[in-house]
Structure 1
């Protein structure tokens, strides 16, 4: 889906769950431009007023601490997992959204547990034989724009200022 479809995705979730019942799990690190989508998104979601966000610029949720950060989420919370990913050239700048868990770090070959009741993967760059290098050299502007689009769409979907 494109950025316009994101608000519909969040409206569907909002129809089933109030914002207080949700935790956004924004996966990534600020040490890689492509992988910074998660913490950038998490920080923007807090600015819009979402009460439960794990994974921000000051406190990223990355491969090293993912399992611990998931354990910190209170029981009964509905999790929306957000992560950057690589994809085919035609999908660059688009989003995969689903009512199912997200498999973090799949595009770079890591085996991490699937997380979330809902998932949102942002295609920040094109698949390549060297995925880590691709994420390191992904244009920061693209990642910032996509993080802003996700946070704005979530705010619109949940009726927050956006």
Structure 2
């Protein structure tokens, strides 16, 4: 894990923005995959991030919203579609996860693909070049019950922070790329 911060930590948000912006600069486009479902409170972080992001930045390439979630049943098809339509894109994957009590409400960023479903013992394909995860509740005994009994306030606050940071990243990427490309020419 490269970055870990409480969702209210402004410095953590700035570090995340700087990392995402510097990593995405070499790519023509950016795709954000927000994994989860709106049927389980603790697993709705991804779709909520996708919905908030599109409200803030309509031209972002977002897969996974509250209206059209990306979840275990359609993740394979979504990955194939992204690979076909956005072959050269920088892919950021977002998901909720369970963790230690002292880390609940923290946002993590790692420079590796997301492995969705591991907290609830599912084997799903990896997605993304990098991943952002929100630790929404405590891991351990009966993870299915824990994820279903997660506070929406936690999900909402984390989703606002992640989507806001991603919106700034998309805007920075759109504004930097033409200048960056001209410098290479």
Aligned to 2:31: 23
Aligned to 1:141: 153
Q: How far off its partner does 1:79 sit? A: 0.7
Cα separation, 2, equivalents of 1:126 and 1:16? 30
Judge conservation of contact 2:41–2:152 (CA < 8 Å) in 1: yes
Deviation string 1:106-158 (CA, Å, 9 cap, x unpaired) is 10010111111010111000013111111111011110111011011223345
Higher helix residue share: 2
CA RMSD between the two structures: 1.7
Higher alpha-carbon Rg: 2
Cα separation, 2, equivalents of 1:154 and 1:7? 11
Q: 1:123 to 1:16 in 2, by over 3 A?
A: closer
> 3-state SS of the aligned residue for 1:61?
coil
User: Within 5 Å, which residues of 2 pair with 1:100-139?
Assistant: 100-139=112-151
User: Within 5 Å, which residues of 2 pair with 1:16-95?
Assistant: 16-17=23-24, 21-49=29-57, 50-73=59-82, 74-95=86-107
Cα separation, 2, equivalents of 1:55 and 1:158? 16
In structure 1, runs of 5+ residues without a counterpart are none
Cα separation, 2, equivalents of 1:16 and 1:144? 27
Cα separation, 1, equivalents of 2:40 and 2:143? 12
Deviation string 1:18-69 (CA, Å, 9 cap, x unpaired) is 5961111000000000000000000111112152000001100001110101
